[in-house]
Amino acid sequence: MTLAQKVLMALAAHELSLQRIKSLTAEIGLHLGRCENRFDLIGPKPANPYPELGDLPWPNGSEEHWRILYDEKGQRRTHMWEAFRSWSDEEDRGLNDDEVSAYLLRQGCVHCTRAWYFVRERKKERRDLGNFRRSLRALGKSAIKALDSLP
Ligand SMILES: [Zn+2]
């Protein structure tokens, strides 16, 4: 394989990896957006007195609902959010990946469990991206040498 072919391959692999990370991030957001953690705290959706005006949003976006559902940084308090803030029973540390999985299984939230699966896939993809970046740098160094040896 020529240097030019190697560069093309590495660039394509790097770009594909970035695209996969982007789509995994979208997937994670989609599933987390469906989590209904703490919806029990805001109560059931009230009957709509004006059905002709269409469906009322619930949660209704009020300050009160916001405080129940989101933290001070504006992050949704999903089961995954809780898992990341949970503490190990045996040691003074947060939960590791396997413990997060177990925690989410106990909560029985299909949305957070799915989101967590995609979070783990994204972690793997980010490791690959790191490898592709190193390949690109190595190819960059080869390219500099190749240019230097041109007449
Ligand atoms: Zn959840």
Distance 19 CA to ligand 1 centre (A): 26
Distance 151 CA to ligand 1 centre (A): 63
What is the pLDDT, as a whole number, of residue 51?
83
Here the tokens at position 134 are: 């190193």
pLDDT (tens, 9 = 90+) of the chain, 151 residues, equals 899 999 999 999 999 999 999 999 999 999 999 999 999 999 888 888 888 888 888 888 899 999 999 999 999 999 999 999 999 888 899 999 999 999 999 999 999 999 999 999 999 999 999 999 999 999 999 999 999 998 8
In the chain, where the domains are located: 3-40+50-148
Distance 117 CA to ligand 1 centre (A): 13
Distance 109 CA to ligand 1 centre (A): 5
Q: N- to C-terminal Cα distance for the chain?
A: 22
The CA distance from 10 to 135, in Å, is 7
What is the pLDDT, as a whole number, of residue 150?
87
Distance 75 CA to ligand 1 centre (A): 13
Distance 139 CA to ligand 1 centre (A): 44
What is the pLDDT, as a whole number, of residue 137?
97
Dihedral sign (CA 127, 103, 78, 46): positive
Length of the chain counted residue by residue: 151
Distance 42 CA to ligand 1 centre (A): 16
Nearest to 37 by CA among 74, 72, 83, 73: 83
